[in-house]
């Protein structure tokens, strides 16, 4: 860790990186810190702008340490509905381009959720993997300006495991496409996220400061979904 990096005394493990590059390196280091790899570990992965550097570090590392990536099984947190998953806006496309294809992952090492199947079919698929791997070892999250994590928007049901969410105007306005009208997303719910052994939240950008402040208050506020993380026993937040 760089000497300029500061760790807060808050019970949440809050790490301040000096810049985005350091945030990305620290995030990947948290991933590498996973122990007891004699059994395959289940990891949930984010998409968006914030984790791009994390995936860059992963590609560089696992191109050298190729065998180590076999110790994990990956699932994505969410995806848009109402678009083909071959489109560059799809999170399945994003993860294929930035992670699974560059690392030549076997299809037995990951599952990117299907936005065309019914929600019940996807729940059955998810349950199959949860039973196989017992628990989520690590859930990596980004943070939305309005406090959403994955597509768990303000005033969502915190008990949900997997569901189709109606996106808020704040989220929709940030979708960079004119080819499709997107108003819904399929997402892992807070009920499943909070069951993870460890949660790693990545926060980058001044527009996330208000949401982060709500989390640090350590008081659950349904208007800010990220606040549901505040009492998780193993939460690390990396901020730049």
> Which pLDDT score, from 0 to 100, does residue 48 have?
94
Quote the pLDDT of residue 10.
45
171: pLDDT confidence band, cut at 50, 70 and 90?
Answer: very high
Q: Average pLDDT over the chain, rounded to whole?
A: 93
3 — pLDDT class (breaks 50, 70, 90): very low
Q: Where are the alpha helices (DSSP H) in 134-167?
A: none
Residue 1 in this model has a pLDDT that exceeds 70: no
> Would you place residue 109 in the very low, low, confident or very high pLDDT band (cuts 50, 70, 90)?
very high
Q: Identify the CA nearest to 192 among candidates 147, 107, 144, 133.
A: 133
pTM of the model: 0.94
pLDDT per residue as tens digits for the range 23-70: 999 999 999 999 877 899 999 999 999 999 999 999 999 999 999 999
Structure tokens at 159: 């008990």
Average pLDDT, stretch 205-232? 96
CA 122 to CA 126: how far, in whole Å? 6
Q: Which of 152, 147, 154, 168 is CA-nearest to residue 210?
A: 147
Task: Quote the pLDDT of residue 4.
Answer: 43
CATH of domain 6-239: 3.40.50.1360
8 A C-beta contact, residue 80 and residue 93: no
Does pLDDT of 219 surpass 80?
yes
């Amino acid at each position: 860790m760089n000497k300029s990096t500061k760790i807060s005394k808050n019970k949440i493990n809050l790490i301040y990186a000096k810049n985005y590059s350091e945030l990305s390196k620290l995030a990947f280091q948290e991933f590498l810190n996973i122990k007891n790899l004699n059994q395959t570990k289940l990891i949930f992965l984010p998409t968006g702008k914030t984790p791009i550097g994390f995936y860059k570090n992963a590609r560089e590392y696992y191109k050298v340490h190729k065998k180590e990536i076999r110790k994990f099984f990956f699932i994505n947190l969410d995806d848009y509905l109402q678009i083909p998953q071959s489109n560059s806006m799809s999170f399945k496309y994003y993860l294929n381009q930035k992670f699974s294809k560059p690392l030549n992952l076997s299809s037995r090492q990951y599952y990117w959720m299907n936005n065309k199947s019914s929600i019940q079919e996807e729940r059955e698929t998810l349950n199959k993997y949860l039973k196989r791997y017992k628990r989520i070892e690590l859930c990596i999250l980004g943070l939305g300006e309005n406090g959403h994590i994955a597509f768990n928007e303000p005033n969502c049901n915190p008990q949900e495991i997997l569901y189709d969410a109606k996106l808020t105007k704040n989220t929709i306005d940030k979708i960079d496409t004119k080819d499709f009208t997107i108003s819904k997303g399929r997402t892992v719910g807070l009920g499943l996220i909070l069951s993870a052994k460890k949660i790693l939240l990545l926060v980058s950008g001044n527009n996330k400061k208000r949401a982060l402040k709500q989390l640090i208050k350590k008081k659950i506020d349904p208007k800010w979904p990220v606040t549901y993380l505040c009492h998780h026993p193993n939460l690390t937040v990396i901020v730049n």
